[in-house]
Amino acid sequence: MRRPPKDKQGREITAPPTVTPNLGSRRNSAGEKVELVRQVREYELITPLYGGGVEPAHADPLTTVRVPGIRGHLRFWWRACRATQFSTVAEMKREEDSIWGSTEQPSAVVLELKLDDKAAVKKEPAYWMERNPRTGRPALKNSHQVHTYAAFPLQPKKEEREQAGWKSGDILTGVCFSLRLSFPGHLIIPRAGSAEGRKVDVKKEVEAALWAWETFGGVGARTRRGFGALVLRSIDGEKVPPTQSRNLGETISRKLGGHVLRGDAPEGIPHLKTDMSVFGPLELAQAGARESAPRPPHDMAVCLTPLAPGGIDKHPELLVWSELIEKLRDFRQCRSEKEAGEYPPRGHSYWPEPRMIKKLLRREKEPLDVEKFPRAEFGLPIIFHMPRLGDLEATLKGLRVKEADKDFERLASRLILRPLRCADGAVGVALILEAPRTPPGGLMLSWVKDRVTAREPVDSQLSEDEAAELTHRLEPLGGRTDVLQAFLQYLTVRRSQR
């Protein structure tokens, strides 16, 4: 972790005061004066900040929120909204670099960040080992600010669980900051093989990235699981009131239509669709009034959970976030001996992967009813711990692609979960991005046994017959071949119906 610099006497050196440049205008490449659009947006984090520093998974000791991190998030969400206007990645990258910058050219969008010194920021470890006074053995403790399933990368390793006094990386709460933006209203971006450039409305491009980031994104690490979720409080000093929960679904649909361009993005680029199907609290309420279970569309891409009223809980955002993560855990770890509408944390998994791993390890010939790894849809790698096979660990990841000459260890999840603040409380949002479902070369399961590494190509995509067969024991799947669609369906089902 980067530590605050110290002078020769060992005293910490404080950062110098911020120098505010003249952002009223700028000269373009032709030497012409270009007026700039300027804006100040104030934000509040409604879930803990995890990571965000110069070292991955650690908060920065000097600058809690960093401009490079925010620029990276805005660049991602700009692609998600605007990449469909390009036919190739190279074409997209040319415009992206002109707007957001690269190592060869400065960004057209200047960002300045200022932390709110009056905000009551609190810092604590997500996990720590504390000696149990009765047994004398170290016991695992965790922060009540996060669901343990969301913060599992911060959990101690096997050897660390024996160390009383061990602490994980810190999480931060109560973070508020302002972001000052300045950019030219338009840019002329050169076209490959053409003397004429393309005129780009930079304000539209920036507003699209900001809206998507504020709605689906966050700050720091693990934002796809809800860490660092933010809410826009004001623009240029004027407060931005949150949307009523009953209008949220319609608002998101309208904004998707306004900020997201139609078409398909270049291959491999995660993106949003302008016609994404949104299923929100209003539809849930209407279904409840008819005393029938809600029937979401088969191609649902955005699901909003029921409202957690603000008057009942001081932190409704944390409540709905915890419920989202809990349902994700229950769905992914669906196990036997289901009791009282809940799935136990331990027991035999209903998912097909453990049986398939045992078959591969034992070189069994007898076919299984489903020989797939469908949970790869939630992101890679996945490490399967098999205690009944001598504590063996098997890793599911991407196959090596000859052109890249490397294993695709990681594949970011297409599923995004986070809370949204509303005027009357908070709701949870689950989004499925349009993105590749598997790595370019397919999937591989690898494990080490007797000091020998073994690898086997495997598949994740369920057929309709396999999904139907699996649903007999895995009820939440609902016969769907897309497990992420099945999870969104699962979110709409009340606990009393499970």
Q: What is the pLDDT of residues 94-149, one digit of tens each?
A: 999 999 999 888 999 999 999 998 888 899 898 999 998 888 899 999 888 888 88
349 by DSSP, 3-state: which?
A: strand
Task: Please tell me the predicted confidence (pLDDT) of residue 19.
Answer: 46
Mean predicted confidence (pLDDT) in 336-360: 71
What confidence tier does 452 reach under pLDDT thresholds 50, 70, 90?
A: confident
Mean pLDDT confidence for 398-413: 72
Is residue 268 situated within a structural domain? no
Q: At CA 2, angle to CA 130 and CA 123, rounded to 5?
A: 40
Residue 32 or 114, more confident: 114
Instruction: Count up the domains in the chain and report the number.
Output: 3
User: Is 154 in the same domain as 186?
Assistant: no
Last residue of a domain, one of 215, 240, 265: 240
pLDDT score for 363: 86
Strands (E), 166-229: 170-173, 176-184, 186-189, 198-201
Q: For residues 313 and 322, what is the distance between their CA atoms, to the nearest angstrom?
A: 13
Structural domain span for residue 400: 277-497
Whichever domain contains 189, its CATH number is 3.30.70
| Same-domain status, 206 and 301 | no
Q: Which residues of 97-108 are buried (b: 16+ CB within 10 A; e: fewer)?
A: bbbbbeeeeebb
Whether 333 and 301 share a structural domain: yes
Count Cβ atoms within 10 A of the Cβ of residue 340 and give its class: 0-12 exposed, 13-18 middle, 19 or more buried: exposed
Please tell me whether residues 78 and 135 are part of one structural domain.
no
pLDDT at 263 over 60: yes
pLDDT score recorded for residue 498:
45
Residue 308 has a pLDDT of 87
* Cβ count near 272 (within 10 Å): 28
Place of tokens 């009820």: 475
- Residue finishing a domain among 240, 255, 288: 240
**Which helix (H) or strand (E) is 255 found in, with range?**
helix 245-259
Q: How far apart are CA 251 and CA 218, in angstroms?
A: 19
Please check the confidence at residue 386 and state whether its pLDDT lies above 60: yes
CB 187 within 8 A of CB 378: no
pLDDT greater than 80 at residue 196: no
Average of per-residue pLDDT values in the chain: 85
Res 282: pLDDT: 63
The 10s digit of each residue's pLDDT in 279-314 is 876 665 565 544 455 555 566 789 988 888 876 567
Can you give the pLDDT at residue 284? Answer: 58
- Find all residues with CB under 8 Å of 281, minimum gap 6, and list them: 245, 246, 248, 249, 304, 305, 306, 307, 427
pLDDT at res. 335: 74
Question: In the block, which residue shows the tokens 């598997």?
Answer: 438
Whether residues 446 and 472 fall in one domain: yes
DSSP 495: G
Q: Which residues contact 89 (CB under 8 A, 6 or more apart)?
A: 266, 267, 268, 269
Is residue 246 assigned to a domain?
no
Residue 263 lies in a domain: no
Residues 313 and 429 in one domain: yes
Any bridge partners for residue 317, and if so which? none
Q: Are residues 152 and 235 in the same domain?
A: no
User: Are 215 and 148 members of one domain?
Assistant: no
Percent of the chain with pLDDT strictly greater than 90: 54
In single-letter form, the type of residue at position 454 comes to A
Is 46 a domain residue? yes
Residues 331 and 470 placed together within one structural domain of the fold: yes
Span 449-473, average pLDDT: 92
Tokens 């099945």, located at residue: 486
Host H or E run for residue 428: strand 425-432
Q: Which residues contact 162 (CB under 8 A, 6 or more apart)?
A: 138
Is residue 269 a part of any domain in this protein? no
413 in the same domain as 395:
yes
